[in-house]
Amino acid sequence: MIYILYFIFYGFLLTAIIGLLASWVDRKVTARVQYRVGPPILQPLIDIVKLLGKETLIPRGASRATFLMAPVAGLTSVILVATLLWINNLGSGDTFLGDLIVVLYLLTIPSISIIMGGFASRNPLASLGASREMKLILGYELPFVLAVFVPVIKSGFSIRLAEILAYQTQNGAITGSLSGTLALVVAVFCVQAKLALVPFDIPEAETEIVSGPLVEYSGSALGIYRLMKNMLLFTLPFFLAIIFMGGLRSDGLHLLNGLLKVVGLVALITVIRNTNPRVRIDQAVRFFWGPLTIIAAAAVLLALKGL
């Protein structure tokens, strides 16, 4: 029963609210970087409400069920990830063994839902974007999993989020060590690619393949995709904050500290996206499989040595 409560209130409502705020932070920081004023604070919410009220068009020849179910699958997996993270961070943390692995799997499903939607919409640009997204997943998953190994090793080979958090409350954040810092740097780049933001917005490349897999989406289906992306913009930094920085806490000054962690990560992601050009897909894959994998492997070795 308590889990259903977590699912609805923390997993969906709270994450959606914070995700929309994070998306506003992203747009506002972008605007300030470009010497603009930027949108009002409620803008992301208004966008979603507007999209929910619009007509949803299904292209002729598209696979109707897949086309409409893909955004829902993506949103559901984000809600599940957020629920697991909130239970571990706020609740008693008595989840199952291996919830870290489940979170890693569920974090791939938003990208897979975008691929499904892109291929289902029967548009050449969408197919192109979906195939690029697939290559990008192959690229970033390896260094991301290696980077996540570091907190696992540090906390004495524990694959439960609650134990990783408990380790950090006693011994300080994992970022404090050399291996933790290296792993966090790698993970931030992978998150950038997971969110499909510049320099890794190759699947969505607006100026090139209009908006890739989303090109045929309209109305409420697009609204759900947008909500999914906004929630992911909070969930991924939250995941990094939990495994590398000791999570968020709700008592006194720690609340401010936790807020700083998440807002800082979102602002860092935004600044990276505003100061870089888009790379080609082969450059991105080479970057992930080359330097980033080497750094992540070095971090794992350092963590095994206890640094």
Partner 1 sequence: MSLKLKALLKSPWVFHLSTGSCNNCDIEILDCLTPRFDIERFGMLLAPSIKHADVLLITGSCNRQSVVRLKRLYEQAPKPCLVVAIGECSLSRGMFIHSYNCPLPLDKIIPVDVYIPGCPPKPEAIIAGVVKLIEKIKKK
Residues that bind partner 1 (CB under 8 A): 27, 31, 34-40, 43, 46-47, 49-50, 53-57, 206, 210-211, 214-219, 222
Cα distance between residue 76 and residue 72, in whole Å: 6
Q: How far is the CB of 186 from partner 1 (least distance, A)?
A: 31
| Cβ nearer to partner 1, comparing 93 with 219 | 219
Q: With contact defined as beta carbons under 8 Å apart, do 187 and 300 qualify?
A: no
Structure tokens belonging to residue 83: 């629920």
| Cβ nearer to partner 1, comparing 114 with 147 | 114
Side chain identity, residue 268? L
Q: Which residue has the tokens 């897999």?
A: 213
Three-state DSSP state, 42: coil
Cα distance between residue 242 and residue 261, in whole Å: 10
Cα distance between residue 116 and residue 109, in whole Å: 10
Q: How far is the CB of 194 from partner 1 (least distance, A)?
A: 21
Distances (CA, A) of 172 to 33, 91, 169, 177, 293: 34, 20, 6, 9, 26
| Cβ nearer to partner 1, comparing 125 with 296 | 125
| Cβ nearer to partner 1, comparing 218 with 276 | 218
Cα distance between residue 234 and residue 9, in whole Å: 16
Q: How far is the CB of 216 from partner 1 (least distance, A)?
A: 6
Q: How far is the CB of 239 from partner 1 (least distance, A)?
A: 28
| Cβ nearer to partner 1, comparing 47 with 163 | 47
Q: How far is the CB of 85 from partner 1 (least distance, A)?
A: 30
